[in-house]
Amino acid sequence: MKFKTISLPYERPLGGPADEDNSDQYTAAIPRNVISLHSSENDLIFDPFIGFGTTAIIAEELNRIPYGIEADRIRFEWAAGQVQHWNHIVHDDALNLKNYNFPKMDLCVTSPPFMPMDDDWNPLYSGDPNYAEYSQYLGKLESILIKTKEIMKPGAPLFIHTDDIETSVITPLINDMHNITSKHFDFVEMIKIEFSGEETPDDYQSTHLLHFRA
């Protein structure tokens, strides 16, 4: 697997509504780096797991046009409320994205929900016990990525934020996400991000991005 390491100044997550757990919100340093290096002003930037809107907020800061989907109503309402292009953010399961007539995107950067393989709460199905298996998590993620590719311009870059997770076992999410995604996208490289700066949390010194092309 082609691999490189980069260093980025850590940025605190932008935050969400009071009382809402935002521990899975990614640092704005990730979309800031990816969008500024791999797109141009007025390009269309997509995130199928928009969460609290970090990708969309940074896209607008950099004069790009954001689009996205979020399954959770509270997060969707927050994210849409943070951006000028609020009507480009939809509340639905990303599997349904073909229903929204999205234009073809220039770049996709996303942080999917992570599932440890010893868990039985599948975040892509809101914990529905009928879909409790890790294999069903990977299968749905793959289906969402296939739908995402359909609304990307040919050759457009896709960046997936991921990390291996350590619980009672090690879940090899980097490898598993690489395997499901490279069936449909051309793999470019894996990037290890090492964070710099005083604000870098002791337990979050680095993370990973998988880079593909549609």
Give the Cα separation of 124 and 147 in Å (integer): 15
Nearer to ligand SAM, 24 or 164 (CB): 24
Query: Please, what is the end-to-end C-alpha distance for the chain in angstroms?
Result: 18
Task: Write out the two tokens for 42.
Answer: 């007025």
Give the per-residue contact string, 51-90, with ligand SAM (x = CB under 6 A; - = no): xx-xx-------------xxxx--x---------------
Q: What is the dihedral of CA 81, 86, 91, 92, to 10 degrees?
A: -150
Contact 112/160 with Cβ under 8 angstroms?
A: yes
Q: Which of 133, 130, 14 is nearest to 79 (CA)?
A: 14
* Least distance (Å) between residue 181 CB and ligand SAM: 16
123: contact with ligand SAM by CB under 6 A: yes
102: contact with ligand SAM by CB under 6 A: no
33: contact with ligand SAM by CB under 6 A: no
145: contact with ligand SAM by CB under 6 A: no
Q: Kindly tell me which residue out of 29, 34, 65, 94 binds ligand SAM, with binding defined by CB under 6 A.
A: 94
Site for ligand SAM in 152-191 (CB under 6 A): none
Give the number of residues in contact with ligand SAM, rule: CB under 6 A.
19
Contact 193/164 with Cβ under 8 angstroms?
A: no
Cβ neighbour number for residue 180 with a 10 Å cutoff: 17
Q: Which residues bind ligand SAM (CB under 6 A)?
A: 24-26, 49, 51-52, 54-55, 69-72, 75, 93-94, 111, 113, 123-124
